[in-house]
């Protein structure tokens, strides 16, 4: 009964609050590149990129990556970006609306496992999965929290200076999302791979490769070499 009341309450909040404003993109150039705030999107190469800073290089984290939005998750993440979560959401939607909708709703789709994330620093590139220790098969939604239809209107529509943990909705948000983060084996989050993680304070570029919807599209100048480069910092 309690969960039923919570769900009804959340639905009312979602309807009354409306959606957080979407970021306005820059003009798309001739190479199929546009930006949403701190996020760069290459439509031709089906690629999203942004910069971030390593905040933790050991211990447990809920997610590997964090973009500003759900503030309480920042301390539970290893790599933090100055970019905003709505910007990343819009970038995913531009490249593949169906995939984005599945990720947003927390649907464990096959396409989510085809998304590749790379972390690059000073010429060294490593796949994001290699930076955490887990035997589970994890996908993009396990490495970055991409939002939730029940709470985005409140969490992403709040000014950055406001402490959302004081909001009356916060306990419900935290309880519901912590339950959502639990994987099939009942584990949540993972330990950082200290051997391969970049040092705290390292400025890195995060590169997300989304499977192309149009297989016939050719690559232009935004093409990248996606073969990880052996790490040189250890």
Q: Write the pLDDT tens digit of every residue in 127-143.
A: 999 999 998 888 898 99
> For residue 208, what pLDDT is reported?
97
For residue 215, pLDDT beyond 80: no
> For residue 165, what pLDDT is reported?
57
**In contact, 188 and 182? CB cutoff 8 Å:** yes
pLDDT tens, position by position, 6-29: 444 444 444 444 444 445 556 667
pLDDT tens, position by position, 48-75: 999 999 999 999 999 999 999 888 899 9
Q: What pTM was computed for the model?
A: 0.78
**In contact, 127 and 118? CB cutoff 8 Å:** yes
Domain segments of the chain as ranges: 2-20+32-209
Rounded to whole angstroms, what are the CA distances from 151 to 67, 77, 85, 172, 176?
16, 19, 13, 9, 10
Cα–Cα dist 71/51, whole Å: 18
């Amino acid at each position: 009964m309690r969960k039923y009341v919570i769900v009804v309450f959340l639905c009312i909040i979602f309807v009354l609050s409306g959606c957080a404003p979407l970021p306005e993109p820059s003009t798309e150039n001739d190479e199929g590149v546009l930006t949403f705030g701190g996020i760069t999107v290459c439509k031709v190469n089906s690629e999203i990129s942004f910069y971030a800073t390593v905040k933790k290089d050991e211990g447990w984290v809920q997610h590997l990556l964090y973009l500003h939005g759900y503030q309480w998750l920042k301390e539970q993440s290893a790599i933090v970006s100055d970019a905003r979560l709505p910007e990343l959401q819009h970038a995913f939607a531009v490249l593949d609306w169906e995939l984005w909708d599945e990720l947003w709703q927390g649907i464990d789709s096959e396409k989510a496992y085809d998304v590749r994330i790379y972390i690059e620093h000073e010429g060294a590139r490593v796949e994001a999965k290699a930076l955490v220790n887990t035997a589970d098969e994890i996908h993009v939604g396990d490495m970055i929290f991409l939002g939730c239809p029940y709470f985005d209107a409140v969490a992403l529509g709040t000014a950055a200076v406001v402490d959302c943990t004081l909001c009356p909705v916060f306990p419900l948000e935290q309880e519901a999302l912590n339950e959502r983060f639990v994987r099939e084996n009942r584990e949540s989050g993972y330990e950082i791979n200290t051997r391969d993680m970049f040092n705290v304070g390292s400025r890195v570029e995060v590169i997300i490769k989304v499977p192309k919807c149009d297989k016939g599209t050719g690559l232009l100048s935004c093409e990248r070499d996606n073969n990880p480069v052996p790490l040189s910092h250890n």
